Structure 1
C-alpha cells in the first residue's frame, strides 16, 4: 500500500525527501496554477543554488546540474 502511495505521488510530481513530501512543479503547472487563482504571471526564472543548501559537506565531484527552484512573479487580476 505504501508503494502505491509513493507511485501515485510520483505521478503528480511529489516525491519524499527525508520522508517529507515535496512537490516539484513544471513551469507550465505554475503558470496554470496562478492563472486559475486569479493572477497574471509576469516573469519566470530558474534560480540555482549551491550544493551546500542540500548537504553539510557536498562531495567535490558534485557539480552540475545544481539544485534549483522556479521563481514566478505574478500580479493579481
Structure 2
C-alpha cells in the first residue's frame, strides 16, 4: 500500500467509522453502506484539508470511487 492509499484509508476509516477499510482496500464502500452522499462530501473536504488535494465534486463518479483502491487511483491525478 502506497502512502496516498494509506492516508486515504485513514480518512475513510474515520469517516466510515470502520477499520475494515484499512484491512480491505477492495471493499465496496457504497454496497456495504460504509459511505453515503454525506460521507462523500466529508471525504472531499477531508482530502482538501488533510492532504491538500482539491477534487471537484464533478470528478466524483460513484462507480469509479467505489473502493479505497479505486479512489486512491483517481486521486493520483490530483497530486
Please indicate, yes or no, whether the TM-score normalized by the shorter chain is above 0.5: no
More helix by share: 2
Q: TM-score, normalised on structure 2?
A: 0.35
Tell me the TM-score normalised to structure 1 length: 0.36
Greater CA radius of gyration, 1 or 2?
A: 1
